[in-house]
Amino acid sequence: SAVISQKPSRDICQRGTSLTIQCQVDSQVTMMFWYRQQPGQSLTLIATANQGSEATYESGFVIDKFPISRPNLTFSTLTVSNMSPEDSSIYLCSVAGVTDTQYFGPGTRLTVL
């Protein structure tokens, strides 16, 4: 399976600011995804990161709040914009290659004060 890293691993931010999370994978992958896991909850898909084009967002998530980039097959960023305490969550990227299996990064633990 691919080795996936995320930066930062955790952060504490002030409300109204923005944080960009990076996801790097050690091999070229077909699909990259961003998930949110709120405290005590399961995983919810935010969007599919598309290389060279706009991400595909799930219901309830919008580009202005969660802009996503994917400049190549091994790297993606998720920005959490204009943060509020409700954005405190674990943010996870996942990747999938030629098989259907999705593998997850270690997550970024965000606390918004």
Partner 1 sequence: GESVGLHLPTLSVQEGDNSIINCAYSNSASDYFIWYKQESGKGPQFIIDIRSNMDKRQGQRVTVLLNKTVKHLSLQIAATQPGDSAVYFCAERGEVTDKLIFGTGTRLQVFP
**How far is Cα 43 from Cα 41, in angstroms, rounded to an integer?**
7
Considering only the stretches 11-19, 62-70, 76-84, 104-112, report the one whose residues sit in contact with partner 1 under the rule CB under 8 A. 104-112
Give me the 60-99 binding string for partner 1, x by CB under 8 A, dash otherwise: ------------------------------x-x---x---
| Using rule CB under 8 A, residue 107 touches partner 1 | yes
Q: Measured from the CB atom, is 67 or 107 closer to partner 1?
A: 107
Q: Which residues have a Cβ under 8 Å from the Cβ of 107 and sit 6 or more positions away?
A: 6, 9, 37, 90, 91, 92
Where are the alpha helices (H) located in the chain, listed in sequence order?
none
Cβ proximity to partner 1: between 17 and 44 the closer is: 44
Q: Tokens 């995804």 belong to which residue?
A: 33
Measuring CA to CA, which residue among 83, 89, 94 is closest to residue 108?
Answer: 89
Shortest reach from residue 89's CB to partner 1, in Å? 11
Determine the 3-state secondary structure of 87 from DSSP. helix
**CA 73 – CA 51 distance, rounded (Å):** 7
Least separation, in Å, of the C-beta of 22 and partner 1?
Answer: 15
| Sites of contact with partner 1 (CB under 8 A) | 1, 4, 31, 33, 37, 39-45, 48, 58, 90, 92, 96, 100-107, 109
